[in-house]
Chain A
């Protein structure tokens, strides 16, 4: 069974640009969560999607958005990039609820110059 895949693995952007990251969950998983990981703040929850609906979101500005497609694949978008957005963005999938095991992808390393 294939694991969670994230593309691209590495990305370099400049301030003011926007970026879209992609996550393909494990087959049969309908819940996808996104996290931002930085050395200073650790792993922080961005949002969670299930059946194309956002069920919860973390405390991030509106520049961070996401969506989920009918095949459960998910994308997150960051507009007007800032230097502080440089981070490892992790996606995790689970079958349906927070009671199910989360499986993480390898992450996308975003560097903003």
Chain B
């Protein structure tokens, strides 16, 4: 069974601090996605990483895919209250048409 473990589960930080969220698996994925979900809404895609070692930046967010394509990290610089939400990673293996979602990291950024 493919599993994606995220850490930490919960994070409460002050505005302006930096943070990193980790997504780990023993399985290899063809690609890995990061989503943010806000209450009452479905997850919204932030980024997709495909190549081992790939680094992508989205404003203050930096995403990295592990060399072996088994893990990923999300780093947020100078967090803002608008970053508050549930962050989910999801991996997919080509040909399976099935996304495996991580356990989620609930982030709260205090003003």
Contacts and interface: CB of A to CB of B under 8 A. Distances in A.
A4 to B, nearest CB: 7
A97 B97 contact: yes
Interface stretch (A12-20, A62-70, A74-82, A102-110): A102-110
B66 interface: no
Chain A residues touching B, majority SS: strand
A98 B99 contact: yes
B96 A99 contact: no
B96 A107 contact: no
Given A56-B96, A99-B31, A42 B101 contact: yes
A98 B97 contact: yes
Nearest to B35: A104
Interface in B89-103: 90, 92, 94, 96-103
B40 interface: yes
A98 B42 contact: no
B52 interface: no
A50 B42 contact: no
A56 B101 contact: no
A50 B88 CA distance: 24
A55 to B, nearest CB: 4
Contacts of B35: 104
Nearest to A49: B97
A48 to B, nearest CB: 5
Contacts of A42: 88, 101-104
A72 to B, nearest CB: 15
Contact of B99 (A33, A50, A55): A33
CB-CB nearest 10 A-B residue pairs:
A104-B42, A43-B101, A55-B97, A98-B92, A56-B98, A48-B97, A56-B97, A104-B43, A42-B103, A98-B97
Interface of B: 30-31, 33, 35, 40-45, 48, 88, 90, 92, 94, 96-104
Interface of A: 4, 31, 33, 35, 42-45, 48, 50, 55-56, 58, 90, 92, 97-99, 101-107
